[in-house]
Amino acid sequence: MAHQHSHSGHSHTHIDPQAGDVRVAWAIAVNVFLTLAQIVGGVLSGSLALIADALHNLSDAVALVIAFFARKIARRPADSRMSFGYGRAEVVAALVNYTILVVLSVYLMYEGVMRFFEPEPVNGWIVVWIAGIALVVDLITAALTYSMAKDSMNIRAAFLHNVADALGSVAVIIAGTAVILFNWTWVDPAVTIMISVYILWHVKSEIGETVRVLMLGAPPELDPEEVACAIERITGVAGVHHVHLWSMQEREPALTAHVVIAPDAWDQAEDIRISVKQALRDKFGLGHITLEIEGRDHACVGLSRFGHQQE
């Protein structure tokens, strides 16, 4: 029995893929250059905040490298081993990115706290100049990835890195200025800790969606009970069970379910199946739907409405 699949415009690949790749490649090049400049500047000036910003930029470059290759992998067609396709490569990439950010943030926080107890001299002018250049680069990179971020979890992770970076650079400029004007070296580790807390806060707000997709959770915009009830409202349907509602990848919801046909409607089972699919497409935007049709007399034993009955 052939299944109809209408992959509507929910997928992120409707952006011209090659144009996106060129943008991401430029963003990577710029961030790698910036990271090197900041690390050298941080070492020369003795500024931990500048090195914190450099590590953040390095994670940016890594984020973009991962995003770049994940986009390429995600465009591969499905095959016998990867029957659902490679779209989730982007979701995995986002999770890797966030994990790297958490590790860096915790490390920076530790270093910042240690600096409070053992302050070191800081050259404010080097800090301000390099952080100023960094801010310009961050804004350019954010502009490059902004339009793509709306449709891809993976690129959004990279874009958020950039926004956090830009704010980090502003904070570093403030720290450098405090050293120049008042010789307040304590502002440097304070800013370092602020940058790390900010990164962690951002990760917390975004990582949940990434984990939900990987854990095959129902898309947040769809209510599973509402979907099940919509199936049951269709004429000739006696009930529905073993409903699985998940995201194939970001913005591509899928459903499998066992549909029980009323005894007097068994001769219209195929028409009912088509009606159910059409209703789910129209109302919920479900593209990938697989339905198993059952008669009332031969329905599954030990039914569970969602998922499978645990043995």
How much is the pLDDT for 238? 92
Region of residue 293 (phi > 0: left; psi between -120 and 50: alpha; otherwise: beta): beta
> SS3 helix, strand, coil % of the chain, rounded to 5?
65, 10, 25
Any idea which residue has 């409707």 for tokens?
14
- Dist. CA 46–CA 124, nearest whole Å: 9
Classify strands 253-261 and 237-247 as parallel, antiparallel or unpaired: antiparallel
- Dist. CA 157–CA 161, nearest whole Å: 6
β-bridge mates for residue 291, sequence order: 257
- Token pair, residue 208, equals 């949940």
The phi and psi torsions of 241 (rounded to 5 degrees) equal: -150, 180
Question: Per residue of the chain (311 residues), what is the pLDDT tens digit?
Answer: 333 333 333 333 333 456 567 777 887 888 888 888 888 998 899 888 888 888 777 777 777 787 788 888 888 899 999 998 888 888 888 898 889 889 888 988 998 999 888 888 889 999 999 999 989 888 887 887 777 777 777 677 777 767 777 888 888 999 999 999 998 989 999 988 988 888 788 788 888 988 999 999 999 999 999 999 999 999 999 999 999 999 987 778 999 999 999 989 999 999 999 999 999 999 999 989 999 999 877 777 777 899 876 54
How much is the pLDDT for 14? 33
Classify strands 288-295 and 253-261 as parallel, antiparallel or unpaired: parallel
Any idea which residue has 């915790």 for tokens?
106
Contact call for residues 102 and 200 (beta carbons, < 8 A): yes
- Dist. CA 142–CA 161, nearest whole Å: 9
Q: Which domains, from first to last, does the chain contain? A: 12-214 (1.20.1510.10), 224-298 (3.30.70.1350)
- Dist. CA 132–CA 192, nearest whole Å: 16
Single pTM value for the model: 0.73
How much is the pLDDT for 56? 74
How much is the pLDDT for 2? 37
